[in-house]
Amino acid sequence: MGAKWLKDAVFYEIYPQSFCDSNGDGIGDIQGIISKLDYIKDLGCNALWINPCFDSPFKDAGYDVRDYKKVATRYGTNEDLYQLFETAHEKGIHVLLDLVPGHTSEEHQWFRESQKEERNEYSDRYIWTDFWLHGAAGMPYIGGESERNACYVLNFFKCQPALNYGFLHPNQSWQFSMNHPEPLKTREAMKDVMRFWLSHGCDGFRVDMANSLVKGDDEKKTGTSLIWRDVRRMLDLEFPDAVMVSEWSDPKLALRAGFDMDFYLNYGGVNGYCTLMRDYYYDEKHNASYFKKDSGGNINRFLGQYLDWYEDTKSLGYISLLTCNHDTTRPRYGLDPSELKLAFAFIFTMPGVPFLYYGDEIGMRFLNVPTKEGGYTRTGSRTPMQWSREKNLGFSTAAQEEIYLPVDPAEDAPTVAEQAADADSLLNTVKAVLALRHQEEDLQADAEFSVVCSEPGKPFVYRRGKLLLAVNPNGEEVSIDLNEENRSVIFSIGSGSLKDGKLSVGPQTFLVLR
């Protein structure tokens, strides 16, 4: 089931422009990441996902790629990235890059050539209609901006023209089938990009908008899945230890399409994942998140979706729970540090391969800041990492007005330095939980999982292998009678015990028992 190294992997997501500025220009860079690898390893993370660091006009924070094989100048050089791979590997850390296969920047040379009226090898690299007045059959499109007498399809923002992987069932003269030579060339071009970085030491890719490739009536993603299975075959033959994690949030499809992992994201409003830490989107007066103290939240709203996915896919790959990502409101927005301790302990002891978003380990806040590089409401989760009480909270020595985004101005803004010195801090709790995960094989990605108790008003109790785990996010002790022999507590946040068949779990407590 995928690369063996995923069994004990814990990923740390780095938004490169906001992590660590090594040269004082106000923006994070690759050398800054290299300088913090020991911190990441000490934290307990042994794998990285780095958001796009390729050449880009940055209209969508790098998700508008101008050159897939060139590191953006603001982050350094290709050689810096090769050095990052090498240094990370020396420390036992794997590195995933962010692949954006569904579109490029409108400034990519492929697109510049595709816009020309005279036909060339890139004319069909993107999806074009057959006339300037002909729209794109219900898809977003742009007309009137090219020499070419046609309109082109978009994949997301206006700056992101869709690459042409074909249509599952083409029904217009300008629509190509998936097996037409031109869409096949697009597929091979993306494989070529993957080969380039894998051959230089990259360990795989997080795949942006992984379900967006084939257009038309591919609602069940049959066509898109076929493409990813083809990519998987290439990887298995040429780079068997390389992995892919999909931005799909449908593991039944994604894992069958050849992905090793699929993110569980807060797509579609209040889904199962959202109910854990972010169930306030539609009623800000009441936070019903499960991990909010005394919220009345119900773990079954998560389990109802998760268990169906888990049972269907556990032999295929991994569901990845994440604390947050660059598109999601930081969990500190709705939960305080004591609540985050329980939420993160849960995420890091569940099956699959977990992801920790930079700064969540210290409880960085979501900030109300103006949009930057297409971030809009996401921008507040992309602010600079808070390392110390030094200038710009240790992120950069640049003038305050020159840094990528403002740091948290609050007097109690959390920092790594202060939390490292506090044994009871969120940072040290995260380190302890991750150390336990690495120590106990029963807490790792593929160990068996089952629910023991999810009854409202009772502790949530679950098994990982031979271990028993219990969570009580509420402010009062709860208990349950179990047909279990006495067990000893090997890890706790709060207090509790299992004696004479009775499991007692104290207020705001997380337990691991053997």
- Helix, coil or strand: residue 422: coil
Domain presence at residue 363: yes
66, 203: one domain: yes
Region 166-192 average pLDDT: 97
**Average per-residue pLDDT for the chain:** 97
Residue 261 near residue 353, CB atoms below 8 Å: yes
Q: Of all residues in the chain, what percent carry a pLDDT higher than 70?
A: 99
Query: Residue length, the chain?
Result: 514
- Helix, coil or strand: residue 99: strand
Residue 284, pLDDT > 80, answer: no
428, 492: one domain: no
pLDDT, tens digit, for every residue of 77-104?
999 999 999 999 999 999 999 999 999 9
Strands (E), 376-466: 449-453, 460-464
Residue 198 near residue 140, CB atoms below 8 Å: no
- Helix, coil or strand: residue 445: coil
Q: Which domain does 458 fall in, by range?
A: 448-513
CATH number of residue 116's parent domain: 3.90.400.10
What was the pLDDT predicted at 245? 98
Residue 285, pLDDT > 90, answer: no
92, 115: one domain: no
Domain presence at residue 362: yes
Owner of token pair 């992309």:
382
Give me the sheet containing 496-499, strands edge to edge.
478-481, 502-505, 496-499
What was the pLDDT predicted at 55? 98
281, 307: one domain: yes
Rounded distance between C-alpha atoms, residue 102 and residue 93, angstroms: 28
Domain presence at residue 170: no
Residue 352, pLDDT > 90, answer: yes
The burial class, CB within 10 Å (0-12 / 13-18 / 19+), for 503 is buried
Q: Where is the domain boundary, 442, 458, 474?
A: 442
pLDDT, tens digit, for every residue of 437-493?
999 999 999 999 999 999 999 999 999 999 999 999 999 999 999 999 899 999 999
Residue 2, pLDDT > 80, answer: no
pLDDT, tens digit, for every residue of 13-48?
999 999 999 999 999 999 999 999 999 999 999 999
As beta bridge partners, residue 152 has 128, 142
pLDDT, tens digit, for every residue of 430-439?
999 999 999 9
Residue 111, pLDDT > 90, answer: yes
Domain presence at residue 174: no
Residue 489 near residue 513, CB atoms below 8 Å: yes
The burial class, CB within 10 Å (0-12 / 13-18 / 19+), for 170 is middle
CA atoms lying within 13 Å on the CB side of residue 253? 20
325 CB-near residues (< 8 Å, 6+ apart): 13, 263, 265, 355, 357, 381
CA-closest candidate to residue 21, choices 388, 347, 498, 397: 397
Q: Kindly state the tokens that stand for 173.
A: 């003269």
304, 386: one domain: yes
Band of the pLDDT at 411, cuts 50, 70, 90? very high
CATH number of residue 486's parent domain: 2.60.40.1180
Report the 10 Å Cβ neighbour count for 156: 19
Instruction: Print the SS3 string covering 120-187.
Output: CCCCCCECECCCCCCCECCECEECCCCCCCCCEEECCCCCCEEECCCECCCCCCCCCECCCHHHHHHH
What was the pLDDT predicted at 211? 97
318, 206: one domain: yes
Region 113-128 average pLDDT: 98
Rounded distance between C-alpha atoms, residue 322 and residue 13, angstroms: 10
- Write the single-letter amino acid at 95: V
CATH number of residue 355's parent domain: 3.20.20.80
Q: Kindly state the tokens that stand for 361.
A: 């380990």
Q: Taking the model in full, what pTM does it have?
A: 0.98
Residue 320, pLDDT > 70, answer: yes
Residue 286, pLDDT > 90, answer: no
154 CB-near residues (< 8 Å, 6+ apart): 103, 139, 140, 141, 142, 160, 161, 162
Rounded distance between C-alpha atoms, residue 120 and residue 69, angstroms: 22
207, 336: one domain: yes
What was the pLDDT predicted at 137? 86
What was the pLDDT predicted at 281? 66
Domain presence at residue 178: no
201, 217: one domain: yes
Please state the domain count of the chain: 3
Category of 374 on φ-ψ map: left (φ > 0), alpha (ψ -120 to 50) or beta: left
452, 338: one domain: no
- Write the single-letter amino acid at 450: S
338, 410: one domain: yes
Region 197-204 average pLDDT: 98
Rounded distance between C-alpha atoms, residue 145 and residue 149, angstroms: 10
Rounded distance between C-alpha atoms, residue 501 and residue 5, angstroms: 38
Q: Where is the domain boundary, 403, 423, 442?
A: 442
Residue 282, pLDDT > 80, answer: no
Band of the pLDDT at 283, cuts 50, 70, 90? low
Domain presence at residue 111: yes
34, 97: one domain: yes
Q: Kindly state the tokens that stand for 444.
A: 């790792």
Rounded distance between C-alpha atoms, residue 312 and residue 362, angstroms: 35
28, 154: one domain: no
Region 150-154 average pLDDT: 98
Q: Kindly state the tokens that stand for 467.
A: 């271990």
Domain presence at residue 144: yes
Domain presence at residue 248: yes
Residue 142, pLDDT > 70, answer: yes
Rounded distance between C-alpha atoms, residue 369 and residue 385, angstroms: 15
Q: Where is the domain boundary, 388, 408, 442?
A: 442
What was the pLDDT predicted at 476? 97
What was the pLDDT predicted at 1? 65
Angle at 384 between CA 319 and CA 335, to 5 degrees: 55
